[in-house]
Amino acid sequence: MKRVGIIGASGFAGAELMRLCAGHPEFEVVFASGDSQAGTPVGELYPSLAAAYPTTTLEPWESIPGGLDVVFIALPHGASQTIVPKLDASHILDLGADFRLKDTSLYPTWYGQEHTAPELLDEFAFGLPELFREDLLGATRVAVPGCYVTTATLTLAPLLKAGLVEPHGLVVDAASGVSGAGRAPKPGTTFSAVDENFTAYGLLNHRHTPEMEMAIGRHAGTDVQLLFTPHLAPMNRGILATCYARPTGDESTEELLTVLAAAYAEESFVVVSEAVPSTKATLGSNSVHITVRRDERTGWVVAIGALDNLVKGAAGQAIQCANLAVGLDEAAGLASAGMYP
């Protein structure tokens, strides 16, 4: 068994890591931190985890033991930069944005602060297995991309790599469930604010924009420019990204679908279909559902992707990366089938 520590286990992504690790054949959670909830039994904070962790109590992260096989960090942006240098673990996987961008100049622009550990950026592999698997084999440090970036990148990247759409003028219009905003209470995520409401936020300057451009461009081998508009939807989980691009040729819908299907033919967690993706179909799974259309009337290509923001968009993808890093079956502990209804 691999000894696992989770820093930030009191948050939604951290709790999802604990849930998935409880069903993992080789991962044993021996440490869980949640500084804001230190001293609280896991089963008290999350009754859904009580049966799996009957004696586990959340601790301050500083009490983490050394020599762990895998440490997951599920904290808000900025926290991991100071924690990573102090950790003694064989494999560290950061679910935050601290080590995703390789260009240090982007952090002040998009995150409002200088990066405090720029010397560590090159140590982190970008954790999107379907596109960058080779970098993850045996990796000791992994920066796991978030839900919006994962959805948009997997939906668009194969089309750009095949040269079927223009790399500039891309539009990503995506909606997220409320859990994507984290567990901490905020005025805009209360029941009264979210119920029967649908709103956009982060207009023109959402911090995940450069990460999408970096990931898509790296896979496609070209510079990418896109406009990203996120929305908050009145649901617990899920990401639905509708992406627009200008075609470079006259490929039909059927031909575009064939390219996407070929790109993901060997990927057990990606479903390419003519069916329109839905968040409900991915609930609780590590799967991504993707489709594409060519609109002859307007000339646009429309590609749509859906996933569970807490699984493939966070904890599930982190475990998928960890499996690759430690030499296990990539799909260990992860479900490809969603829950329904």
CATH of the domain at 116: 3.40.50.720
Residue showing tokens 């009264």:
192
Report yes or no: 135 and 120 within 8 Å, Cβ to Cβ: no
Task: Count the neighbouring beta carbons within 10 Å of the beta carbon of residue 3.
Answer: 17
Give every CB contact of residue 112 below 8 A, 6+ residues apart in sequence: none
Say whether both 138 and 227 belong to one domain.
Answer: no
Edge-to-edge strand ranges of the sheet holding 288-294: 199-200, 226-232, 170-176, 239-245, 301-307, 288-294, 270-272
Same domain, 193 and 129: no
Q: Are 121 and 181 in contact (CB under 8 A)?
A: no
Maximal CA-CA distance, the chain: 61
> Contact, 155 vs 290, CB < 8 A?
yes
The pLDDT value recorded for residue 197 is 96
What is the per-residue pLDDT for 153? 98
CATH code for the domain in which residue 156 is found: 3.30.360.10
Domain match, 129 and 11 both? yes
What domain range includes position 253?
Answer: 147-310
Q: Tell me whether residue 243 is one of the annotated catalytic residues.
A: no
Whether 334 is in a domain gets the answer no
Are 111 and 180 found together in one domain?
no
Q: Are residues 212 and 92 in the same domain?
A: no
| 139 three-class SS | coil
In a domain, 154, yes or no: yes
* Domain presence at residue 335: no
pLDDT, position 184: 87
Q: What is the full DSSP assignment across 55-100? A: T-B-B-GGGPPSSEEEEEE---TTSHHHHGGG--EEEEEE-SSTTT
Asked, as a colleague might, if the bond just before 341 is cis with ω within 30 of 0, I would say yes
Query: Per the domain annotation, does 129 fall within a domain?
Result: yes
Number of domains comprising the chain: 2
59-100 per-position pLDDT tens digit: 999 999 999 999 999 999 999 999 999 999 999 999 999 999
Q: Are residues 256 and 213 part of one domain?
A: yes
Same domain, 132 and 181: no
The confidence score (pLDDT) of residue 35 equals: 87
179 with 266, same domain: the answer is yes
> Cα–Cα distance between 109 and 80 in angstroms, integer?
19
* Helix (H/G/I), strand (E/B), else coil: 194: helix
- pLDDT, averaged per 10 consecutive residues of the chain (341 residues), comes to 98 98 98 95 98 98 97 95 96 97 94 94 98 98 98 98 98 97 89 94 95 98 98 97 98 98 98 98 98 97 98 98 98 97 90
332 located within any domain: no
Task: Show Cβ contacts of residue 253 under 8 Å, excluding neighbours closer than 6 positions.
Answer: 274, 292, 293, 294
Same structural domain for residues 58 and 157? no
Domain-embedded: residue 337? no
User: Is residue 331 one of the residues assigned to a domain?
Assistant: no
The closest alpha carbon to 5, from 62, 71, 66, belongs to 71
* pLDDT given at position 143: 98
Do 140 and 189 reside in the same domain of the chain? no
Which parts of the chain fold into alpha helices (H)? 12-22, 42-45, 80-83, 106-111, 129-136, 147-161, 191-194, 209-220, 253-263, 279-282, 316-326
DSSP state at residue 165: B
* Nearest partner of 146 among 183, 100, 177, judged by Cα: 100
Which pLDDT belongs to residue 32?
98
Same domain, residue pair 240 and 179: yes
Q: What is the reported pLDDT for 185?
A: 82
Note the pTM of the prediction, 2 decimals.
0.97
Whether 117 and 255 share a structural domain: no
Residue 339 lies in a domain: no
Which of 21, 147, 243, 321 is an active site residue?
Answer: 147
